[in-house]
A and B are shown apart, each in its own frame.
Chain A
Amino acid sequence: MPGIQLFDNRRDRKSPFARFEKSRLGLYLHIPFCRAKCAYCDFYSFVPNEEEIMERYVDALILHMQSYRAGAKDYLPDTVFIGGGTPTALPIELLLKLIRAVKRNFTLAKGAEFTLEANPATVDVGMLRRLRWAGVNRLSMGLQSANNEELAALSRVHRREDFAESFRAARRARIENINVDLMFGIPYQTKKSLMKTLAYVVRLGPEHISLYDLILEPSTPLAKRAPGLPMPSDDEEADMYLAAVEFLAQNGYAQYEVSNFARPGYQCRHNLKYWNCEEYLGLGASAHSYFRDSRFSFARDVKRYMHGIEVPTSRIKMTDENDVISPQERIGEYIMLRFRLTAGLSDREFTRRFGFSFTQKYGKKMQPYISGGFAAYKDGVYALTPRGMFVSNYILSDLLDFEDLGQLHLFSGMK
């Protein structure tokens, strides 16, 4: 592959059988197409003006997979996630072609989780059934809000009614693991309207719920409009968040990450890889990877991405980022990511990984957060409480003391 060296160092492991075992891997495929661009979205996606570009892109993605086929031989993907954009914006035949190529190029682990993001109003039962037959066993659907006024403020293409129909279609297609994406902090939203949305979703009964705080990314149309819209204040959002965590728990959806809730056994295994510092390979324009000790991302530009794939000899730059993560950096990442999980950070596991005790280094700094109710410590495990999670940037930026970790060059690979 141009731009990247991927296949050199074999990871060394402690087990004598290690070299016979295969490493687990998450596989992510990015589809940067949408029917319409939502006002808040700053992911890499656009509305394609012709079908050819989608065909060409899927072909490039398949070629890209092929190029990894040999290099990822010692890996056993146990999660696949096709996200976007809107993967279901692809014509169904293209989507199926892509899924078949995944299975042709990688041997998936038994019982692998295979998620497809789908937008309401872009799916029907027949199509969903064919996707299940092809191997998709988890559907992630973006509802965002069950309030049509709020949906309009986000310029979503669907309404609440469309979503209900799509959700029922998925169930009829016997997809038994469904996530519903929700948002809070939306223009016009109140705690009351959020609770109504949650009650509505709980009644539908998906296995998994994601509840993201709407972030106004400066480049988005919504960020420009927001000053003129009734936006919930930070304090109101904190109230919403805490109320949502409580309500979802009462209804069987335990929080396991800052923004993620699931019924027992239905945590998203793919997303957990991000937070557990496990390896994942992201293919497609703008897709991010953590693979063989490097974090890298491919070109955030479809044309550049496709050209790089199609003309392997070209000198075009395929990656936007490509940083080798030093052992020291991993410490900072590990703390940052583990504190997103309710499972928290076990000092034993930490010590095993890094050779020193978390308590010894950070225990004193954690103390005021623990006594203030922002964190908890129990049986050797540190974890943030929901209140602490909602101010986790504050805590983490305090905790990860640069003066202290200066010698360790925390995040030194960052540009």
Chain B
Amino acid sequence: MAKEKRTHIRNFSIIAHIDHGKSTLADRILEFSKAVEKRDMEEQLLDNMDLEKERGITIKARAVRVNYKAPDGQEYALNLIDTPGHVDFNYEVSRSLNACEGALLVVDATQGIQAQTLGNAYLAVDAGLEIVPVINKIDLASADPDRVIGEIEDIIGIPAEGCPLVSAKTGLNIQDVMDAIVRDIPAPEGDTEAQLRCLIFDSVYNSYLGVVTYVRVMDGTVRAGDRIRMMSTGAEFDVVEVGFMDAFGLKKQDVLEAGDVGYITASIKTVSDTRVGDTITLAEGGAEEPLPGFEEALPMVYAGIYPADGARYNETKEALEKLQLNDAALTFEPETSAALGFGFRCGFLGLLHMEIIEERLEREFNLDLITTAPSVIYEVTLHDGTLVRVDNPSNYPAPEKIEVAAEPVVSANIITPTEFVGNIMELCQDRRGTFHDMKYLDAGRAELHYTLPLNEIIYDFFDTMKSRTKGYASLDYEMKGYEPSNLVKLDFLLNGEIVDALTFIVHSEKAYGRARRIAEKLKENIPRQLFEIPIQAAIGSKVIARETVKALRKDVLAKCYGGDITRKKKLLEKQKEGKKKMRQLGSVQVSPEAFMAVLKLDDDT
């Protein structure tokens, strides 16, 4: 049987720059279609993690079906597939887009096109989607929809004349959006008779059901009882249930057919068995070829995570294991640091991903953590030809063994008001960027392209960019590959002993500045102790910066409290408690707070 159109289904995503109103528009669409009563709806239903809500960022994709009765009198099933809005999760976004036929491109009528608008729009174009522009926030006084329509047409090159002009906040003109979805987004097609191929675009661990896998059925059909196979791993499972999710939860169905978006449960224990982008087929008589585009989600950024209280190592491990059930992109393995004790080297998709994991560990599992400075993966070729991938700066090979070292670089795209172009260029230059080109988007804004080392981006680039452009510039980037670089390993010594947790890999030109700054921070944050503590920063045996923490000379309760011994004991006990939390770095004691203060990335201007 040939491909068949599922004329009453629309599969679509919403894409936008951060804060342009994606989640709010999603709410309005659900509401409009009466899928959910306003009073029943938790604000921004699609974001169902607290953390995401707080940050206003959607992390995990979800799919919700909405039944909509169009003005033509016909009932349509609209599958809204939510996508993450951050560059760390670009791969997840691209998989979600591949599950759709169209995307709503939401642009803020006051801000116009931003870096992520472009990044996401290009992802959607690459995925072959129909793009429906939606201009949001037209209720604001500073809204300029005509200018924004012009921008969309000129810069992205898609027609925007007559596109929906809405206010997701007030609910104005949402009807236009609904009509545009039905009218402009193509119905899915697929061959229900063909061998089963489902694209996994998300999976969520649930303690009752096991992993709930969200799929788009591209070909064939799947139903409960089928034995399925994950094409990348070969793992096989028996389908327990299929269905779709609506605003109230999972709705069980008999079958999912080509063109459908829905979920599959199959007593799967961990999300690492259902990798985003993988293809599900039947174990017997399955498809030969998987769907294109699958990649293993590879961590880009690594950091050591240690429990502040060493006794909580096992709890930390269990917490990481639990998070991993739901997050295949998180990797971790045990590591030991002389300074920090037992902990884990964790891999993340990016800085935001790292922050999210840290916060979840602290909030949901009530852990106090010490996190080392994030590091990228360096590729070091030794004289004997061996390629070493270094994810922990402490393991960086000795300079005399290195033939060539390479670091990951990204292709970055920055949009900024023209008045800040100078600042951006200065920043990128300072961060070892290579300039490619600059375009004026309109009279007031420019778009710059740079190649930047990833390790400069993870070192507070984003915050510095924001502070130097009054918050107006926006950034989007994608991995470009590895480039040879003149890197050095920078060690810090307290009292003559290397503190492994403070070792950095840094470009040789930046070593002095970084060394001085961190040495100063150490001096500010290490409490005075009975002996003077020399602080040194060194490349190999060469000391390039030094500071001294003077000896503590007064720490006494000299007063006689009229026989009030209890008071003295209490004060001593408090002091002792503080000391218990101290980390022994060689002969030097440092509080976890001090350690974090030193590692804290801030503006180094």
Residues of A within 8 A of B (CB): 26, 28, 30, 43, 83, 210, 212-213, 215, 234-235, 237-238, 241, 258-259, 271, 273-274, 280, 282, 287-290, 295, 297, 321, 323, 332-333, 336-337, 369, 372, 374, 387, 389-398, 400, 402-403, 411, 414
* Residues of chain B with a CB closer than 8 A to A333's CB: 565, 569
Question: Which of the segments B68-76, B122-130, B200-208, B547-555 contacts the partner chain?
Answer: B547-555
* Residues of chain A with a CB closer than 8 A to B531's CB: 372
B563 touches A274 (CB 8 A): yes
CA distance A402 to B563 in the complex (A): 24
**Interface residue from A213, A295, A336, A369 paired with B556 (Cβ < 8 Å):** A213
* B34: Cβ under 8 A from any A Cβ: no
CA distance A402 to B573 in the complex (A): 9
A392 touches B563 (CB 8 A): no
A213 touches B562 (CB 8 A): no
Q: Which residue of A lies closest to B529 (CB)?
A: A394
B562 touches A43 (CB 8 A): yes
* Residues of chain A with a CB closer than 8 A to B55's CB: none
CA distance A238 to B17 in the complex (A): 59
B580 touches A282 (CB 8 A): no
A290 touches B580 (CB 8 A): no
B563 touches A397 (CB 8 A): no
A258 touches B576 (CB 8 A): no
**Interface residue from A372, A374, A414 paired with B569 (Cβ < 8 Å):** A414
- CB contact under 8 A between A295 and B553, given known A212-B558, A212-B560, A372-B531: no
B562 touches A83 (CB 8 A): yes
> A269 to nearest B CB, angstroms?
13
* B386: Cβ under 8 A from any A Cβ: no
A258 touches B563 (CB 8 A): no
B566 touches A30 (CB 8 A): no
- CB contact under 8 A between A372 and B566, given known A215-B557, A215-B558, A393-B575: no
Q: List 17 A-B contacts (CB under 8 A).
A: A43-B562, A258-B556, A258-B558, A259-B560, A271-B560, A288-B562, A288-B565, A289-B563, A295-B566, A336-B568, A390-B553, A390-B555, A397-B572, A397-B579, A398-B579, A403-B580, A414-B569
> A109 to nearest B CB, angstroms?
19
Per-residue interface assignment for chain B, residues 323 to 362, with 1 indicating a CB less than 8 Å from any chain A CB and 0 otherwise: 0000000000000000000000000000000000000000
Q: Which 10 A-B pairs have the closest CB atoms?
A: A238-B553, A213-B558, A234-B554, A397-B575, A394-B555, A288-B563, A397-B576, A393-B555, A391-B555, A288-B564
> B533 to nearest A CB, angstroms?
13
A259 touches B564 (CB 8 A): no
- CB contact under 8 A between A411 and B569, given known A28-B563, A274-B563: yes
B576 touches A400 (CB 8 A): yes
* Residues of chain B with a CB closer than 8 A to A400's CB: 572, 576
* Residues of chain A with a CB closer than 8 A to B573's CB: 411, 414
> B415 to nearest A CB, angstroms?
47
> A394 to nearest B CB, angstroms?
4
**Interface residue from A238, A273, A274 paired with B554 (Cβ < 8 Å):** A238
* B559: Cβ under 8 A from any A Cβ: yes
Most A-side CB within 10 Å, residue of B550, B554, B580 = B554
A396 touches B552 (CB 8 A): no
CA distance A241 to B559 in the complex (A): 13
* Residues of chain A with a CB closer than 8 A to B530's CB: 369, 372, 374, 391, 394-395
**Interface residue from B553, B563, B569 paired with A282 (Cβ < 8 Å):** B563
Per-residue interface assignment for chain B, residues 523 to 538, with 1 indicating a CB less than 8 Å from any chain A CB and 0 otherwise: 0000001110000000
- CB contact under 8 A between A337 and B565, given known A238-B553, A259-B560: yes
* Residues of chain A with a CB closer than 8 A to B163's CB: none
CA distance A297 to B571 in the complex (A): 17
- CB contact under 8 A between A234 and B563, given known A259-B558, A393-B575, A411-B573: no
B556 touches A290 (CB 8 A): no
Q: Which residue of B lies closest to A394 (CB)?
A: B555
In B563-590, the 8 Å CB interface with A consists of 563-566, 568-573, 575-577, 579-580
> B557 to nearest A CB, angstroms?
6
- CB contact under 8 A between A290 and B565, given known A238-B553, A396-B572, A397-B575: yes
- CB contact under 8 A between A390 and B569, given known A28-B563, A282-B563, A403-B580: no
CA distance A394 to B553 in the complex (A): 10
In B479-522, the 8 Å CB interface with A consists of none
Additional A-B contact list (8), CB under 8 Å, known A43-B562, A391-B556 = A83-B562, A212-B560, A235-B554, A336-B569, A374-B530, A393-B556, A394-B529, A395-B530
Q: Which residue of B lies closest to A369 (CB)?
A: B530
* Residues of chain B with a CB closer than 8 A to A402's CB: 576-577, 580
Most B-side CB within 10 Å, residue of A234, A241, A289, A391 = A391
A393 touches B557 (CB 8 A): yes
* Residues of chain B with a CB closer than 8 A to A391's CB: 530, 552-556
* Residues of chain A with a CB closer than 8 A to B556's CB: 213, 258, 389-393
**Interface residue from A213, A287, A332, A397 paired with B559 (Cβ < 8 Å):** A213
**Interface residue from A235, A274, A397 paired with B565 (Cβ < 8 Å):** A274
> B367 to nearest A CB, angstroms?
20
> B580 to nearest A CB, angstroms?
6
* Residues of chain B with a CB closer than 8 A to A259's CB: 558-560
B560 touches A414 (CB 8 A): no
* Residues of chain B with a CB closer than 8 A to A282's CB: 562-563
CA distance A288 to B576 in the complex (A): 24
B566 touches A390 (CB 8 A): no
> A182 to nearest B CB, angstroms?
11
CA distance A67 to B249 in the complex (A): 74
> B554 to nearest A CB, angstroms?
4
CA distance A305 to B17 in the complex (A): 69
**Interface residue from B561, B563, B568 paired with A290 (Cβ < 8 Å):** B563
CA distance A364 to B570 in the complex (A): 25
> A298 to nearest B CB, angstroms?
12
* Residues of chain B with a CB closer than 8 A to A28's CB: 562-563
Q: Which residue of A lies closest to B564 (CB)?
A: A288
> A125 to nearest B CB, angstroms?
28
- CB contact under 8 A between A234 and B576, given known A282-B563, A297-B564, A391-B530: no
* Residues of chain B with a CB closer than 8 A to A297's CB: 564, 566
* Residues of chain B with a CB closer than 8 A to A398's CB: 579
> B527 to nearest A CB, angstroms?
10
B553 touches A234 (CB 8 A): yes
CA distance A290 to B580 in the complex (A): 29
CA distance A237 to B552 in the complex (A): 12
